[in-house]
Amino acid sequence: MGLVVQKYGGSSVADAEGIKRVAKRIVEAKKNGHQVVVVVSAMGDTTDELIDLAAQVSPIPAGREFDMLLTAGERISMALLAMAIKNLGHEAQSFTGSQAGVITDSVHNKARIIDVTPGRIQQSVDAGNIAIVAGFQGVSQDKKDITTLGRGGSDTTAVALAAALNAEVCEIYTDVDGVFTADPRVVKKARKIEWISFEDMLELASSGSKVLLHRCVEYARRYNIPIHVRSSFSGLKGTWVSNEPQGDQPMEQAIISGVAHDTSEAKVTVVGVPDKPGEAATIFRAIADAEINIDMVVQNVSAASTGLTDISFTLPKTEGRKAIAALEKTKDSIGFDSLRYDDQIAKISLVGAGMKTNPGVTATFFEALSNAGVNIELISTSEIRISVVTRADDVNEAVRAVHTAFGLDTESDEAVVYGGTGR
Amino acid sequence: MGLVVQKYGGSSVADAEGIKRVAKRIVEAKKNGHQVVVVVSAMGDTTDELIDLAAQVSPIPAGREFDMLLTAGERISMALLAMAIKNLGHEAQSFTGSQAGVITDSVHNKARIIDVTPGRIQQSVDAGNIAIVAGFQGVSQDKKDITTLGRGGSDTTAVALAAALNAEVCEIYTDVDGVFTADPRVVKKARKIEWISFEDMLELASSGSKVLLHRCVEYARRYNIPIHVRSSFSGLKGTWVSNEPQGDQPMEQAIISGVAHDTSEAKVTVVGVPDKPGEAATIFRAIADAEINIDMVVQNVSAASTGLTDISFTLPKTEGRKAIAALEKTKDSIGFDSLRYDDQIAKISLVGAGMKTNPGVTATFFEALSNAGVNIELISTSEIRISVVTRADDVNEAVRAVHTAFGLDTESDEAVVYGGTGR
Q: Longest Cα pair distance anywhere in chain A, in angstroms? A: 80
Residue B245 confidence (pLDDT): 85
Q: Is B337 helix (H, G, I), strand (E, B) or coil?
A: coil
Q: A60, A65, A147: best mutation site toward chain B, by most B Cβ within 10 Å?
A: A65
Residues of A in Cβ contact (< 8 Å) with B20: 57
The CA distance from B301 to the nearest CA of chain A, in Å, is 52
B134 and B71 in contact (C-beta within 8 Å)? yes
Residues of B in Cβ contact (< 8 Å) with A69: 75-76, 79-80, 83
Judge whether residue B389 has pLDDT over 90: yes
Tell me the average pLDDT across B121-148. 96
B107 and B48 in contact (C-beta within 8 Å)? no
Residue A100 confidence (pLDDT): 97
Residue A80 is nearest to which of B69, B78, B93, comparing CB atoms?
B69
Residues of A in Cβ contact (< 8 Å) with B120: 144
The CA distance from B68 to the nearest CA of chain A, in Å, is 6
Determine, for residues A94 and B19 on separate chains, whether the beta-carbon distance falls below 8 Å: no
Spatial CA neighbour of B219 closest among B157, B280, B262: B157
Determine, for residues A79 and B56 on separate chains, whether the beta-carbon distance falls below 8 Å: no
Determine, for residues A86 and B62 on separate chains, whether the beta-carbon distance falls below 8 Å: yes
Residues of A in Cβ contact (< 8 Å) with B71: 75
Residue A50 is nearest to which of B76, B120, B144, comparing CB atoms?
B76
Residues of B in Cβ contact (< 8 Å) with A146: 96
Judge whether residue A417 has pLDDT over 60: no
The pLDDT mean for chain B works out to 91
Determine, for residues A66 and B79 on separate chains, whether the beta-carbon distance falls below 8 Å: yes
Judge whether residue A188 has pLDDT over 50: yes
Spatial CA neighbour of B173 closest among B231, B234, B236: B231
Residue B252 confidence (pLDDT): 63
Residues of A in Cβ contact (< 8 Å) with B22: none
Residues from B in contact with A at Cβ < 8 Å: 16, 19-20, 23, 50, 53-54, 56-62, 64-66, 68-69, 71-73, 75-76, 78-84, 86-87, 92-94, 96, 99, 120, 144, 146
Tell me the average pLDDT across A198-225. 93
* β-strands A258-262, A345-351 pairing: antiparallel
Band (A253; pLDDT cuts 50, 70, 90): low
- What stretch of H or E contains B318? none
Q: What is the pLDDT of residues A71-128, one digit of tens each?
A: 999 999 999 999 999 999 999 999 999 999 999 999 999 999 999 999 999 999 999 9
Residue B423 confidence (pLDDT): 44
Residue A418 confidence (pLDDT): 42
The CA distance from A185 to the nearest CA of chain B, in Å, is 33
Judge whether residue B420 has pLDDT over 80: no
Residues from A in contact with B at Cβ < 8 Å: 16, 19-20, 23, 50, 53-54, 56-62, 64-66, 68-69, 71-73, 75-76, 78-84, 86-87, 92-94, 96, 99, 120, 144, 146
Please list, in sequence order, all residues whose beta carbon lies within 8 angstroms of the beta carbon of residue B36, skipping any fewer than 6 positions away.
B3, B4, B6, B26, B29, B30, B125, B130, B131
**Dist CA A286 CA A109 (whole Å):** 25
Residue B413 confidence (pLDDT): 53
Determine, for residues A57 and B16 on separate chains, whether the beta-carbon distance falls below 8 Å: yes
Judge whether residue B418 has pLDDT over 50: no
Among A67-76, A248-257, A362-371, B305-314, where is mean pLDDT lowest?
A248-257
Tell me the average pLDDT across B379-390. 90
Determine, for residues B86 and A16 on separate chains, whether the beta-carbon distance falls below 8 Å: no
Q: How many CB pairs under 8 A join A and B?
A: 118
Band (A413; pLDDT cuts 50, 70, 90): low
Q: What is the pLDDT of residues A322-336, one digit of tens each?
A: 999 999 998 988 889
The CA distance from A389 to the nearest CA of chain B, in Å, is 42
The CA distance from A78 to the nearest CA of chain B, in Å, is 8
Closest CA in chain A for residue B52: A16
Among A283-287, B41-45, B352-356, where is mean pLDDT lowest?
B352-356
Q: A24, A75, A146: best mutation site toward chain B, by most B Cβ within 10 Å?
A: A75
Judge whether residue B397 has pLDDT over 90: yes
* pTM reported for the whole predicted model: 0.83
Q: How far is CA A299 from the centre of its chain?
A: 28
Determine, for residues A65 and B86 on separate chains, whether the beta-carbon distance falls below 8 Å: yes
Band (B412; pLDDT cuts 50, 70, 90): low
Long-range contacts (CB closer than 8 Å, 24 or more residues apart) made by A390-395: A390/A345, A390/A346, A390/A348, A391/A344, A391/A345, A391/A346, A392/A263, A392/A344, A392/A345, A392/A346, A393/A344, A394/A346, A395/A186, A395/A261, A395/A263, A395/A346, A395/A348
Please list, in sequence order, all residues whose beta carbon lies within 8 angstroms of the beta carbon of residue B130, skipping any fewer than 6 positions away.
B26, B27, B30, B36, B37, B38, B82, B85, B90, B91, B92, B93
Please list, in sequence order, all residues whose beta carbon lies within 8 angstroms of the beta carbon of residue A178, skipping any fewer than 6 positions away.
A192, A193, A211, A229, A230, A231, A236, A237, A238, A239
Residue A62 is nearest to which of B58, B73, B83, comparing CB atoms?
B83
Tell me the average pLDDT across A19-33. 96
Q: How far is CA A148 from the centre of its chain?
A: 16
Residues of A in Cβ contact (< 8 Å) with B87: 57-60
- Residue B274: CB atoms within 10 A of its CB come to 15
Residue A383 confidence (pLDDT): 84
B158 and B167 in contact (C-beta within 8 Å)? no
Determine, for residues B87 and A50 on separate chains, whether the beta-carbon distance falls below 8 Å: no
Determine, for residues A68 and B78 on separate chains, whether the beta-carbon distance falls below 8 Å: yes
Q: Longest Cα pair distance anywhere in chain B, in angstroms? A: 80
Please list, in sequence order, all residues whose beta carbon lies within 8 angstroms of the beta carbon of residue B405, skipping any fewer than 6 positions away.
B364, B365, B367, B368
The CA distance from B422 to the nearest CA of chain A, in Å, is 20
Domain residue ranges in chain B: 3-175
Residues of A in Cβ contact (< 8 Å) with B65: 79-80, 82-83, 86, 92-94
A192 and A180 in contact (C-beta within 8 Å)? yes
Determine, for residues B61 and A72 on separate chains, whether the beta-carbon distance falls below 8 Å: no
Segments of A258-335 assigned E as strands: 258-262, 265-274, 297-299, 308-316
CA-to-CA separations, B361 to A367, B296, B402, B409, in angstroms, rounded: 104, 20, 11, 17
The CA distance from B79 to the nearest CA of chain A, in Å, is 5
Determine, for residues B75 and A71 on separate chains, whether the beta-carbon distance falls below 8 Å: yes
Tell me the average pLDDT across A138-165. 94
Judge whether residue A38 has pLDDT over 60: yes
Residue A420 confidence (pLDDT): 39
Residue A252 confidence (pLDDT): 64
Domain A3-175 fold:
Carbamate kinase (3.40.1160)
The pLDDT mean for chain A works out to 91
Please list, in sequence order, all residues whose beta carbon lies within 8 angstroms of the beta carbon of residue B139, skipping any fewer than 6 positions away.
B97, B98, B102, B103, B104, B145, B146, B147
Q: What is the pLDDT of residues A215-249, one digit of tens each?
A: 999 999 999 999 999 998 888 999 999 998 877 77
B89 and B130 in contact (C-beta within 8 Å)? no
**Dist CA A336 CA A331 (whole Å):** 6
Residue B279 confidence (pLDDT): 84
Determine, for residues A79 and B60 on separate chains, whether the beta-carbon distance falls below 8 Å: no
The CA distance from B94 to the nearest CA of chain A, in Å, is 7
